[in-house]
Chain A
Amino acid sequence: MNPAPATCIRIERLGKTYRGQPTPALQAIDLAVAEGEFVALVGASGCGKSTLLRLIAGLEAPSEGQVCLDGRPVTGPGCDRAVVFQDYSLYPWLNVLENVRFCRSLRAHTRDASESEVNSAVERAYALLELMGLDEVRTRYPNQLSGGMRQRVAIARALMAQPRVLLMDEPFGALDAQTREVMHELILRLFEIERSTIVFVTHDVEEAVYLADRVVVLAPQPGRIDSIHPVALPPPGARHPDLKLAADFLHQKKIVLDRIRATSGVQRDLDKLSRLAELSRRDRRPDTKPTAGNH
């Protein structure tokens, strides 16, 4: 273990304002992601977590500040930062194997590729299919697959490009709870084997705490970093779904949840609700105003 791993992504004074909107979507974001680190971005809706991911990917241009990958500023999308989207990103006219190998049809990957590199790419495609449990469905088309399978194909396709960073934008947001659980184990295993750097956007705090090394809580209006929570859990390989029920895990989850509530106005809404409940309880008390049927 290297005591001080190199910085992979450095975000400096990053801001994004959309035209015609008074408050910036993101303001003064400073964040460094280390080589081989798993960072989760969470926060209330509208906090700009997806925008931040898209800025790292180069799919949006910053209004101020910059994102640097290995010291070089990001100017647009590129194969060193592959993105896994929530859905609809697979190519329905290609089968599973062809989808995974899609990047091999691009000039960026075939230019100056030696024969041995091409061979190793073929091997890598098959290895990824096996790792993701897609071996038996490799000739199927995406619309013949379940939602969980489709996301596995999307992840394998992104990894095929051998990106420096894997960016995931609510990749399991459309999956049911059971499939999600399986995907979590898969991601941890993958993270252990591939040792990739991952930035992961999710609205599921449990998912964030279970998977990530650090959880970054963003606050809305304007989108900004509220707090960063290093997660103290066993290493990825030693995690087990039962961990999600352990007291220590729940405690860490609660800290993050409390921050999101405090920044999102949910707390205000909850307070309002409890005051309302209080009022109706008082109304129902027989000594103040007895009503029929409530005794």
Chain B
Amino acid sequence: MAADPLWSIRGTLGGARYLAIAGVGFASLLGGWWLLAGSGLVDPVFLPTPTAVARRLLGWYADGSLFADIKISIGRVLGGFGLAVLMAVPLGIYIGSFRPVQAFFEPLMEFARYLPAVAFVPLVLLWVGIGEGAKITLIWIGTFFQMVLMVSDNIRQVPMAQIEAAQTLGANRGEVVSLVVFKSALPGIVDTLRVTLGWAWTYLVVAELVAANSGIGYAILRAQRFLQTDKIFVGILLIGLLGLLMDQGFRLLHRRAFPWLHLR
């Protein structure tokens, strides 16, 4: 073929073929793992076989704690992330819309986002104790500051012409913000939330590794004590899978909520 669209730069690829290639990608990861673990070259303590991992998953399910652990972990992520969203979105809108608010908060946020969230663990334990509040606070610290800055950036991306058009049609300041700026930035904000949700999962595991007696992260920690490498694998894969599912949920939401962006 003279000009194969498949291999031209930024060429085209049908949905079915895309899925097939993505499937091959996952299959080769699994296959490579299987070969390596089954070859006997590697000690199963370092690398358990996929079957051992699957058996461990079933065992976890059978003793009834799998769904309890998943549920509590999801609950913590949604709690910390939800709190961050509730605070970051309105604040981001104000920072992105009004210069004095920006001058007050943005340098503070820029500073705060470089504070290592993980190093806050001892402080968080001191301040809010070892209850659910600690995990939620840590996830909040890990996501809030980045989220504020990204949302305010989304707001600043709104074209000035859209704002000025509304003003010359008679919109007052509140109407410009609620009917134009927010609506125009919303797809970008949803993308910001999708990205920061991934970080929320990271901080969940940190929180559960150091200060919990339930959840997937805690299960990983306990497995470490008993050298149950296969259970560590199950925990890591579970978190990856849950993150992927939530990410896909956000993509679906994006397509449903903003149909005009996905035309043609």
Binding site for B on A (CB under 8 A): 57-59, 76-79, 81-83, 85-93, 102-103, 105-109, 141-144, 154, 157-158, 161, 167
Bound state CA distance, A91 and B164, in angstroms?
12
Q: Across the interface, which residues of A come within 8 angstroms of B263, CB to CB? A: 141, 143-144
Query: Does any Cβ of A come within 8 Å of B110's Cβ?
Result: no
- Tell me how far the C-beta of B155 lies from the nearest C-beta in chain A, rounded to whole angstroms: 15
Cβ-defined contact, B167 with A93, below 8 A: no
What are 14 inter-chain pairs, A to B, with CB distance below 8 A? A59-B164, A59-B168, A77-B168, A78-B168, A78-B170, A82-B169, A85-B161, A86-B161, A89-B161, A91-B183, A92-B260, A93-B260, A154-B165, A158-B168
- Tell me how far the C-beta of A229 lies from the nearest C-beta in chain B, rounded to whole angstroms: 28
Q: Across the interface, which residues of B come within 8 angstroms of A107, CB to CB? A: 172, 175
Given contacts A93-B260, A157-B169, contact A83 B184 (CB under 8 A): no
Q: Across the interface, which residues of A come within 8 angstroms of B184, CB to CB? A: 91-93
Cβ-defined contact, B159 with A77, below 8 A: no
Q: How large is the interface on B (under 10, 10 to 19, 20 to 34, 35 or more residues)?
A: 20 to 34
Q: Across the interface, which residues of B come within 8 angstroms of A87, CB to CB? A: 161
Bound state CA distance, A3 and B44, in angstroms?
100
Binding site for A on B (CB under 8 A): 159, 161-162, 164-172, 175, 179-180, 183-184, 186, 258-261, 263-264
Q: Across the interface, which residues of B come within 8 angstroms of A83, CB to CB? A: 164-165, 168
Cβ-defined contact, B180 with A109, below 8 A: no
Cβ-defined contact, B180 with A79, below 8 A: no
Q: Across the interface, which residues of A come within 8 angstroms of B169, CB to CB? A: 79, 82, 102-103, 106, 157-158, 161
The 9 closest A-B pairs by CB, nearest first: A79-B170, A108-B170, A89-B161, A77-B167, A141-B260, A89-B165, A103-B169, A83-B168, A85-B161
Q: Across the interface, which residues of A come within 8 angstroms of B159, CB to CB? A: 88-89
Contact check: which of A82, A91, A106 meets B175 at CB < 8 Å? A106
Bound state CA distance, A210 and B175, in angstroms?
38
Bound state CA distance, A108 and B168, in angstroms?
11
Cβ-defined contact, A93 with B258, below 8 A: yes
Q: Beyond A57-B164, A141-B260, A161-B169: 5 further Cβ-contacts under 8 Å?
A: A59-B167, A85-B165, A93-B258, A102-B166, A154-B165
Residue of A87, A92, A141, A144 with highest tally of chain B CB at under 10 A: A92
Q: Across the interface, which residues of A come within 8 angstroms of B162, CB to CB? A: 88-91
Given contacts A106-B175, A107-B175, A144-B263, contact A82 B168 (CB under 8 A): yes
Given contacts A91-B183, A144-B263, contact A108 B164 (CB under 8 A): no
Measured CB to CB, the nearest residue on chain A to B187 is A93
Q: Across the interface, which residues of A come within 8 angstroms of B261, CB to CB? A: 92
Bound state CA distance, A197 and B161, in angstroms?
22
Measured CB to CB, the nearest residue on chain B to A80 is B170
Q: Across the interface, which residues of B come within 8 angstroms of A82, CB to CB? A: 168-169
Residue of B166, B169, B260 with highest tally of chain A CB at under 10 A: B169
Q: Across the interface, which residues of B come within 8 angstroms of A144, CB to CB? A: 263-264
Cβ-defined contact, B171 with A108, below 8 A: yes
- Tell me how far the C-beta of A102 lies from the nearest C-beta in chain B, rounded to whole angstroms: 6
Measured CB to CB, the nearest residue on chain B to A57 is B168
- Tell me how far the C-beta of B179 lies from the nearest C-beta in chain A, rounded to whole angstroms: 6
